[in-house]
Structure 1
Amino acid sequence: MKIGLVRRGYSRTGGAEAYLRRFAEAASEVGHSIVLFSERWPVEEWPFELVPVDSKSPGTFADAVLALRPRDRCDFVFSLERLHTCDAYRAGDGVHAAWLELRKKFEPPWKAWFRRFSGKHREILMLEKELFGPRGARAVIANSALIRDEIVQHFQYPQTQIQVIHNGVPPFNVPPDARAHTRASLGLKDDDFAILFAGSGWSRKGLRFAIEAMNEAKLDHATLLVAGRGNHRAMPKSQYTRFLGPVKDMPPLLAAADAFILPTIYDPFSNACLEALVAGLPVITSAQNGFSEIIESGLEGEIIQEPNDVPALAAAIKSWSDPDRRAIAKLRLETLGAHYTIAENVRQTLAAIQALR
């Protein structure tokens, strides 16, 4: 069949963009043809059919896609973007209504008040209401049970029409000397405990809480390595934290780390956590991260119920600073991570689309 994919934005390093490319390649390999509806995707970066969409906002993009009548051009419309209607929607960006509610707990009241006047937020909320309404998406693919339950709770969308397919990551090979070489370049000793935080959007991902937890743990041999772009001057001061800036090649840094931390306020399913799991690292994260539902707290990391529970984060950091505990968990972590490949995700997604078709 001819599958129409929809994604408005484009980033060379974006997770959704990488997923779309892999999905399109896999679908093409088994005989499907692909067309992408996008506002910003460069022609040279897309080897399949591309239909440009002229828009200036989430709402006007949805309007423009509707006007293009994608169902006249393809057999199945699979959207990674909030639209008025589609055959299947991949809810990889989460539920905007749920995110706005959660963030109120962690910011001054005036910010929430001003957000009510934001045209962008109003458009997204309107689109979600339509998308999960009677004439919206025929089916939804959620990347976590967390998101499935939020869709049902906020919009009374039928749970029977939502399938949970967890994220997957591509395999990565790391040279045997990557750990020693990377740690040496960072000035880390063999017995130093390196805990890694990776990602942008530091406010949402809870970097402040991770730094405060490091300050409370006060482990002389521990260092929090922060990979990603952000304003470090807005973060708490800490002698235990090092800002590395954007990192293009993450596997060597994962090899150099001993644990991973992401006390996120809201994350549908963190790929960064999944990559850490594949690398054999225990993951300390919050219950507001869809990734947390695939690990068992105490065995493959720690699940903190509230992202700003600094004492609980500090206790988890101390607990996983034990090298013997990490050594015992490593094989279990790698074995679990091996189940969550991009190939398996694409296989399940294609099977869901074919069943719906």
Structure 2
Amino acid sequence: MKRIAIIRQKFNPAGGAERVVSAILRQLQGHAALHTLLINRKWEAVPGIEAHSVNPFYLGSVWRDWGFARAARRLWQALDAALVLSHERIPGCHVYRADDGVHAAWLDVRRQRGGIAARVSMALNPYHHYMLAMEQRMYRDPAFRGVVCISDMVKRDVMQYTGLPAERCHVVYNGIDSAFFNPRDARAQRDSLRQQYGLSADAPVLLYVGSGFERKGLAQALHAIVPHPAVQLVVVGSDKKSRHYQALASQLGVAGRVHFAGAQRDVRSYYGMADGFILPSIYEPFGLVVAEAMACGLTVLTSTRCGGGELLQPGQTGWLAAPDDKAAWQHNVGQWLAARASWPQRGEQARQAVLPYTEPRMVGQMLTLFATLLPDAEGLA
């Protein structure tokens, strides 16, 4: 039995990437040819999975990531892992799953949006220099075999910023647990949740889910509802600058229509209380919440820099706009409102669109890929 080491630093129940790692671990439990090892710094226990925590002393984010990378690599070598799937940028891994996209692409987005002060701040930030260096070293390491890209957008970014050829970039969409994320169960608490937030049964409600409000475009979502006084916006997620966004809602005159719910473990019920989903991300490698919302029967408004938008049929199951195109976002909210009579039918079409993307399919595609990338990995699929 071969050992596969899966690397991810920590677990955040609100994080899409972490939920995907958990799904991979679930699917690999009891695999006939594989013994799964989880190497982490901080994670919730996963029944049936051999977990190893490494958490060297550190001060600051650079030391933290560097120390974890060194310790994880020593451990997977000591455990004689035949295959190393890393969800962190660590030179020496066999396969990297680019849940977090390409750091160089993300920095380019921030440079384009920020002023001189922001650019200087990024240039002087040692963490960005560390991440860029690790990204390039990982892709050029002799042990590296390929990258799992979670969207076509990520594949294009990898090729553009690292020079990796297309044949080493493999698109595998995230798997969605559509049995769990379903309209009936999601809507079980619809009335009680709406009452909790003072929302009438017939109020048109858009839901935003995500932590890291800048990257996930909360400001654009606030601007998008301004010309549509009937629309309510529920914000699920946390951010250290939450007060800034609450102040922005007041400045825009929409504070009475924006409800900050904070981080929630039961996100499914919030999908069920809503009529549509909005995520104007400025850089989102996939956005598992987009697929989850669709599985719960919601149409989606998202950005052209969100990989999950590739699952939409624009104008039918959702609407796309460039992250910074304020007029387009306001127009799309208007289009969503105008389609109110067909929300149920469009929502069902959205659900049908994501049903093929199951967790077993995702893991099966990855195992098939591993068998082709590594000479000693035959029989994994």
TM-score scaled by length of structure 1: 0.92
Residue equivalent to 2:116 = 109
Residue equivalent to 1:94 = 101
Deviation at 1:87, TM superposition (A): 1.4
Deviation at 1:255, TM superposition (A): 1.2
Find 2:201's aligned residue among 164, 174, 190. Answer: 190
Residue equivalent to 1:240 = 257
Deviation at 1:60, TM superposition (A): 3.0
Residue equivalent to 1:83 = 90
CA shift digits 1:304-325 (9 cap, x unpaired): 0x21211111111111113113
Q: Give the distance between the partners of 2:234 and 2:26, measured in 1 at CA.
A: 35
Q: Aligned in 2, Cα 1:165/1:105: closer, same or farther, shift over 3 Å?
A: same
Deviation at 1:69, TM superposition (A): 5.4
Residue equivalent to 2:238 = 229
Q: Is the 8 A contact 2:85 2:95 kept in 1?
A: yes
Q: Aligned in 2, Cα 1:24/1:190: closer, same or farther, shift over 3 Å?
A: closer
Secondary structure of the corresponding residue to residue 36 of structure 1:
strand
Q: Is the 8 A contact 2:91 2:141 kept in 1?
A: no
Residue equivalent to 2:66 = 59
Q: Give the distance between the partners of 1:22 and 1:247, measured in 2 at CA.
A: 19
Q: Give the distance between the partners of 1:41 and 1:179, measured in 2 at CA.
A: 31
Kindly provide the amino acid, as one letter, of the partner of residue 89 in structure 1.
Y
Q: Which moved more, 1:141-150 or 1:247-256?
A: 247-256
Q: Aligned in 2, Cα 1:276/1:21: closer, same or farther, shift over 3 Å?
A: closer
Q: Give the distance between the partners of 1:334 and 1:15, measured in 2 at CA.
A: 18
Deviation at 1:241, TM superposition (A): 1.6
Q: Give the distance between the partners of 1:141 and 1:265, measured in 2 at CA.
A: 21
Unaligned runs of 5+ in 1: none
Q: Is the 8 A contact 2:27 2:359 kept in 1?
A: no
TM-score scaled by length of structure 2: 0.86
CA shift digits 1:280-317 (9 cap, x unpaired): 1111111110111121211111110x212111111111
Q: Give the distance between the partners of 1:70 and 1:37, measured in 2 at CA.
A: 12
Deviation at 1:85, TM superposition (A): 1.8
Deviation at 1:45, TM superposition (A): 4.7
When the two chains are superposed, the root-mean-square deviation of aligned CA atoms in Å is 2.1
Q: Aligned in 2, Cα 1:256/1:40: closer, same or farther, shift over 3 Å?
A: closer
Deviation at 1:47, TM superposition (A): 4.0
CA shift digits 1:39-59 (9 cap, x unpaired): 2336x4564323333444223
CA shift digits 1:123-179 (9 cap, x unpaired): 111011111225252111110111111111111102101110111222325166433
Tell me if 1:273 matches 2:290: yes
Kindly provide the amino acid, as one letter, of the partner of residue 88 in structure 1.
V
Q: Aligned in 2, Cα 1:24/1:175: closer, same or farther, shift over 3 Å?
A: closer
Q: Give the distance between the partners of 2:163 and 2:7, measured in 1 at CA.
A: 24
Find 2:302's aligned residue among 260, 282, 285. Answer: 285
Q: Give the distance between the partners of 1:65 and 1:124, measured in 2 at CA.
A: 17
Secondary structure of the corresponding residue to residue 202 of structure 1:
coil
Q: Give the distance between the partners of 2:78 and 2:109, measured in 1 at CA.
A: 36
Q: Give the distance between the partners of 1:295 and 1:85, measured in 2 at CA.
A: 36
Deviation at 1:194, TM superposition (A): 0.4
Secondary structure of the corresponding residue to residue 332 of structure 1:
helix
Unaligned runs of 5+ in 2: 59-63
Secondary structure of the corresponding residue to residue 196 of structure 1:
strand
